[in-house]
């Protein structure tokens, strides 16, 4: 772009002064005018490519210093050349403006040639590309026109730990109980509004500011002030390191939000215990619940959203990088959400790595939120991809408890948990219905166990050598009085989640043992049964003794009851699985790896744990064409198992082709719909009598 096309903005409430400068520059550049800071911000928001600003200091609505501070807080305008128009070079304000980031000064009466020269000099200077953090303070910077305004305070933190105020905005003074007229007097008197912070709160305030100055990391915290009328106030505020600094001083910008403004005599004293989260400084769970409730009640006609988010496998970060790094990530995440809701809503840390926010639907910028989270991940400097999942509940039922709303957001979040590509989910009607259906299952489960509604189905397992069933797998079916037969796919993972699986598995093992004993009593040939052992049970300390007691009760040996475990147990906790499997094998049990190849750790598991039987699910393999890749993999796995001395079972066998392939590959046993589906005991016995020949 050649110089002639550059955009220059003149901000001054004095029209004569504006037109004077405009006439000097308009032959060379595009010149625009604004009568105060509010107008200037609106212009700059629409014209971020503005190349230079002339700015008066004293203006109504928003003066030059506040405008300057707001611009310097925005990554977009951090480097924008700003010439302050000043009455005299003697003015104290000039020094302040310089420290706040003014580029140059022009003194009245203007010498036009000088002004033009200054403009040209600044316009040709190369400007650094600003690194724009999404979710940065931009929303706040331009939010002046909104009903919710925030006070600004620029604090100078010295190395010796002392603080002073370099600048405070009129809104901040108003929060402290001063009128606009008193503001000017305060500024003129060089007043330091830090005196409004009561003595017993000052140290924690100083620590928070000190931390921001030192770590240069944004932080959200509460600030306690005593207003001029002696009323105590709590302001939620966000602190960021400000752009200008030298060796001994650091400037920290605090933005005090009026949204959560409250008097301590009133609701604040009703808050139980601690109000803030100690680590991140934002609201803790209780405070968030209260402030979100208040927000919803205060704006009964507006629509709101409530969201929660957390970090995927946060535990891993703590394990790999240490808790200090983990903590610092939490602090940054807290600050980014505080920034996102500033002036728009409330946020808090619900616990561990779970955060929540609540804001007006029209203010909610999902893309901005996700972008902010990605930005954080990209800029952590860790060789680790931070994956954050969000659940969003559009507040439909306003009367519901905030905790319930968080649950709904969590439910939505749980549907994308672990998904690398999907980072958010909304709570909606189908989800609600699915969750209600789940709830019904959970309501009915105990009764079902008591009334014997969980029944044992058996699916034969054939030997390819002997061409007959050599064992069977016990599979549960739920005979529901209204819904009919429910397949385990609908309830097992739910029961694992609420640990009811402990009861169900024991029950199923007992049914299997009872059947084995019954066969023996009827003089039938022994037929070992495999039972499924959920990973939850695998890690129970009394698993071995429980199983042994069960076998004893029915006078059986461990060789009759085989245990199927899945490799997800290995993923959860390899060490513990190694210990558990050693104990079980010592007690004489044979261990089967179920669904081999469906997880991520198959080969690790084989390497680390001696196991007896490998179950391969044909459904995980895809098309088994001759000489296909799937066929090669299958052959390879069977060979590995054989060389480790393991027996191989292929399950999910549905076609004759699969059967013949498995036979030629040397697979030992097969299980699948081709031979028989899982069936109730009486059918199973009938089936054994009339067994099909392979």
Catalytic residue numbers read 651
Q: Which two tokens stand for residue 8?
A: 């220059």
Residue number with CB closer to ligand C2E (38 or 476): 476
The answer to whether 564 contacts Mg ion (rule: CB under 5 A) is yes
Residue 508 interacts with ligand C2E (CB under 6 A)? yes
CB of 487 to ligand C2E, least distance (A): 5
- Written as six digits, the tokens of 65 are 């210093």
Q: What is the DSSP string of 83-112?
A: EEEES-TT-HHHHHHHHHT--EEEESSP-H
Could you give the count of Cα atoms lying within 13 Å of 512 in the half-sphere of its Cβ? 32
Sign of CA dihedral 527, 528, 530, 533: positive
Q: Among 151-159, 175-183, 191-199, 500-508, which window interacts with ligand C2E (CB under 6 A)?
A: 500-508
Distance of closest approach, residue 417 Cβ to Mg ion, in angstroms? 23
Question: 517 to 536, contacts with ligand C2E by CB under 6 A?
Answer: 532, 534
Interacting span for ligand C2E (CB under 6 A) from 178-186, 298-306, 393-401, 670-678: 670-678
Residue 496 or 564 having the CB closest to Mg ion: 564
> CB of residue 633 vs ligand C2E: minimum separation in angstroms?
19
- Told to check if 567 binds ligand C2E by CB under 6 A, we report no
**Piece in contact with Mg ion (CB under 5 A), picked from 27-35, 373-381, 559-567, 641-649:** 559-567
Following CA atoms 573, 578, 579, 580 in sequence, which dihedral angle do they give, to the nearest 10 degrees?
80
597 interacts with ligand C2E by CB under 6 A: no
Per-residue mark of binding to Mg ion, 610-649 (x: CB under 5 A):
-------x--------------------------------
670 binds ligand C2E, rule: CB under 6 A: no
Handedness of CA 37, 40, 45, 51 (dihedral sign): negative
Give the residue with the Cβ less far from ligand C2E, 280 or 566: 566
Residue 103 phi, psi dihedral angles, 5° rounding? -85, -50
If binding is defined by CB under 6 A, does position 460 make contact with ligand C2E? no
Q: Which does 672 bind (CB under 5 to 8 A by kind): Mg ion, ligand C2E, none?
A: ligand C2E
Give the distance, in angstroms, between the CA of residue 67 and the centroid of all CA atoms in the same chain.
34
For position 594 contacting ligand C2E by CB under 6 A, the verdict is yes
Tell me which of Mg ion, ligand C2E, none is bound by residue 101, counting a contact when its beta carbon lies within the kind-specific cut-off of 5 to 8 angstroms: none
Q: How many residues bind ligand C2E (CB under 6 A)?
A: 24
Examine residue 652 and tell whether it contacts ligand C2E (CB under 6 A).
Answer: yes
Which among Mg ion, ligand C2E, none contacts residue 547 (Cβ within 5 to 8 A by kind)? Answer: none
Give min distance, CB of 200 to ligand C2E, in A: 57
Q: Which stretch binds ligand C2E (CB under 6 A): 77-85, 127-135, 573-581, 665-673?
A: 665-673
Residue 532 binds Mg ion, judged by CB under 5 A: yes
* 13 counts as binding Mg ion under rule CB under 5 A: no
Query: 23 to each of 30, 81, 82, 633, 691, how far by Cα in Å?
Result: 11, 20, 19, 79, 102
Alpha-carbon distances of 217 from 170, 333, 411, rounded to whole Å: 26, 11, 32
> Whose Cβ is closer to ligand C2E: residue 240's or residue 473's?
473
By C-beta, is 277 or 595 nearer to ligand C2E? 595
Nearer to Mg ion (CB atom), residue 33 or residue 595: 595
Q: Is 501 in the site for ligand C2E (CB under 6 A)?
A: yes
CB of 692 to ligand C2E, least distance (A): 14
Rule CB under 5 A: say whether 594 interacts with Mg ion: yes
Q: Does 492 bind ligand C2E (CB under 6 A)?
A: yes
For 285, half-sphere exposure in the C-beta direction (CA atoms, 13 angstrom radius) is 9
CB of 619 to Mg ion, least distance (A): 9
Q: Of the two residues 415 and 598, which places its CB atom closer to Mg ion in the complex? A: 598
Task: Report the nearest approach of Mg ion to the CB of residue 534 (Å).
Answer: 10
Please give the span between the terminal C-alpha atoms of the chain, in angstroms, as a whole number.
Answer: 81
Cα separation of 87 and 202, whole Å? Answer: 37
Smaller CB separation from ligand C2E, 212 or 511? 511
What six digits make up the tokens of 9? Answer: 């903005």
Q: Is 653 left (phi over 0), alpha (psi -120 to 50) or beta?
A: beta
By C-beta, is 310 or 564 nearer to Mg ion?
564
Beta strands in 27-103 (DSSP E): 30-34, 52-56, 82-86
Nearer to ligand C2E, 315 or 499 (CB): 499
Return the number of other C-beta atoms located less than 10 Å from residue 385's C-beta: 11
Contact predicate 86/106, CB 8 Å: yes
673 is a contact residue toward ligand C2E (CB under 6 A): yes
Q: Looking at 15-23, 170-178, 580-588, 669-677, which segment touches ligand C2E (CB under 6 A)? A: 669-677
Is 505 an interacting residue with respect to Mg ion (CB under 5 A)? no
Beta carbon of residue 441, minimum distance to Mg ion (angstroms, whole number):
21
The stretches of 474-626 forming alpha helices (DSSP H) are 492-497, 501-521, 535-538, 543-553, 568-572, 574-586, 602-608
Is 420 one of the binding residues for ligand C2E (CB under 6 A)? no
Contacting ligand C2E (CB under 6 A), which of 13, 66, 262, 505?
505
Residue 487 site contact among ligand C2E, Mg ion, none (CB < 5 to 8 Å, cut-off depends on kind): ligand C2E
Residue (of 140, 337, 392) closest to 220 by Cα position: 337
Give the dihedral of Cα atoms 21, 22, 25, 31; nearest 10 deg: 130
Residue whose CB is less far from Mg ion, 257 or 617? 617
CA distances from 242 to 250, 252, 336 (A): 8, 5, 16
Q: CB–CB of 336/380 below 8 Å?
A: no
Residue 622: φ, ψ to 5°: 80, -160
Considering only 6, 569, 678, 687, the residue that binds ligand C2E (CB under 6 A) is 678
Closest contact distance (angstroms) between CB of 689 and ligand C2E is 21
595 binds ligand C2E (CB under 6 A): yes
Confirm or reject binding of residue 75 to ligand C2E (CB under 6 A). no
CB 35 within 8 A of CB 58: no
Question: Is residue 674 within 8 Å of 656, Cβ to Cβ?
Answer: yes
The reply on whether position 599 binds ligand C2E by CB under 6 A is no
Q: Which does 505 bind (CB under 5 to 8 A by kind): Mg ion, ligand C2E, none?
A: ligand C2E
Q: How far apart are CA 230 and CA 692, in angstroms?
A: 92
Sequence-ordered list of residues with C-beta below 8 angstroms from that of 280, at least 6 positions apart, any chain: 219, 220, 330, 331, 333, 334, 335, 349
Verify binding: residue 595, Mg ion, rule CB under 5 A: yes
Pair of tokens at residue 111: 């010498």
Contact 514, 681 (CB under 8 A): no
Identify which of residues 312 and 617 has a Cβ nearer to Mg ion in the complex: 617
Residues forming a β-bridge with 82 = 53
β-pairing, 249-263 with 345-351?
A: unpaired
Structure-block tokens of residue 293: 């409730």
Q: Please report, as ranges, the residues that interact with Mg ion according to CB under 5 A.
A: 532, 564, 594-595, 617
Q: Please report, as ranges, the residues that interact with ligand C2E according to CB under 6 A.
A: 459, 475-476, 487-489, 492, 501, 505, 508, 532, 534, 564, 594-595, 619, 651-654, 671-673, 678
């Amino acid at each position: 772009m050649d110089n002639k096309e550059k955009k220059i903005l003149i901000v001054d409430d004095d029209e004569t002064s504006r037109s004077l400068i405009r006439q000097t520059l308009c032959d060379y550049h595009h010149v625009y005018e604004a009568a105060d800071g509010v107008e200037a911000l609106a212009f700059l928001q629409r014209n971020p490519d503005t190349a230079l600003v002339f700015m008066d200091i004293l203006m109504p609505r928003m003066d030059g210093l506040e405008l300057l501070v707001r611009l310097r807080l925005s990554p977009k305008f951090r480097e924008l050349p700003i010439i302050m128009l000043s009455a005299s070079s003697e003015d104290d304000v000039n020094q302040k403006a310089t420290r706040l980031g003014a580029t140059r000064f022009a003194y009245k009466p203007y010498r036009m040639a000088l002004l033009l020269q200054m403009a040209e000099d600044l316009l040709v200077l190369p400007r650094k590309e600003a690194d724009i953090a999404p979710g940065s303070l931009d929303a706040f910077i331009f939010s002046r026109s909104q009903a919710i305004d925030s006070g600004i305070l620029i604090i100078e933190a010295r190395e010796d730990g002392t603080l002073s105020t370099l600048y405070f905005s009129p809104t901040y003074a108003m929060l402290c109980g001063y009128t606009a007229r008193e503001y000017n007097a305060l500024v003129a008197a060089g007043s330091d509004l830090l005196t409004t912070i009561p003595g017993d709160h000052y140290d924690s305030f100083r620590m928070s500011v000190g931390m921001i100055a030192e770590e240069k990391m944004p932080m959200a915290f509460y600030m306690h002030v005593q207003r001029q009328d002696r009323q105590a106030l709590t302001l939620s505020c966000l602190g960021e390191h400000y752009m200008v600094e030298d060796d001994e001083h650091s400037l920290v910008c605090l933005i005090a939000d009026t949204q959560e403004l409250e008097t301590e005599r009133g609701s604040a004293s009703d808050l139980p215990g601690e109000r803030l989260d100690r680590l991140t400084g934002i609201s803790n769970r209780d405070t968030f619940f209260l402030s979100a409730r208040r927000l919803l009640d205060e704006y009964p006609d507006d629509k709101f959203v409530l969201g929660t988010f957390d970090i995927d496998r946060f535990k891993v970060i703590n394990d790999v990088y240490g808790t200090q790094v983990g903590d610092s990530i939490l602090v940054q995440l807290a600050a980014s959400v505080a920034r996102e809701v500033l002036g728009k809503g409330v946020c808090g840390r619900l616990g561990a790595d779970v955060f929540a926010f609540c804001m007006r639907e029209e203010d909610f910028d999902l893309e901005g939120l996700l972008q902010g989270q990605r930005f954080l991940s990209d800029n952590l400097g860790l060789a680790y991809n931070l994956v954050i999942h969000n659940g969003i509940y559009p507040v439909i039922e306003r009367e519901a408890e905030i905790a319930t709303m968080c649950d709904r957001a969590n439910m939505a979040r749980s549907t994308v948990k672990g998904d690398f590509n999907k980072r958010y989910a909304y709570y909606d009607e189908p989800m609600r219905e699915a969750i209600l259906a789940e709830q019904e299952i959970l309501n009915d489960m105990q009764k079902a166990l008591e009334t014997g509604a969980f029944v044992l189905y058996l699916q034969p397992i054939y030997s390819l050598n002997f061409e007959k069933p050599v064992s069977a797998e016990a599979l549960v079916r739920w005979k529901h009085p209204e819904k009919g037969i429910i397949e385990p796919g609908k309830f097992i993972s739910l029961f694992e989640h609420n640990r009811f699986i402990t009861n169900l598995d024991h029950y199923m093992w007992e049914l299997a043992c009872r059947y084995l004993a019954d066969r023996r009593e009827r003089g039938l040939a022994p037929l070992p049964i495999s039972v499924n052992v959920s990973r939850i049970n695998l890690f129970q300390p009394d698993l071995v003794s429980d199983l042994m007691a069960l076998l004893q009760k029915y006078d059986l040996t461990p060789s009759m009851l085989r245990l199927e475990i899945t490799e997800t147990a290995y993923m959860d906790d390899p060490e513990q699985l190694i210990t558990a499997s050693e104990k079980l094998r010592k007690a004489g049990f044979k261990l089967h790896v179920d669904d081999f190849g469906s997880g991520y750790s198959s080969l690790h598991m084989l390497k680390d744990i001696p196991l007896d039987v490998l179950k391969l699910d044909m459904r995980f393999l895809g098309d088994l064409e001759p000489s296909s890749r799937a066929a090669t993999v299958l052959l390879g796995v069977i060979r590995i198992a054989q060389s480790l001395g393991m027996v191989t079972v292929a399950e999910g066998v549905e076609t004759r082709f699969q059967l013949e392939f498995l036979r030629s590959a040397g697979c030992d046993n097969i299980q699948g719909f081709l031979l028989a589906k899982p069936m109730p005991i009486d059918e199973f016995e009938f089936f054994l009598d009339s067994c099909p020949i392979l």
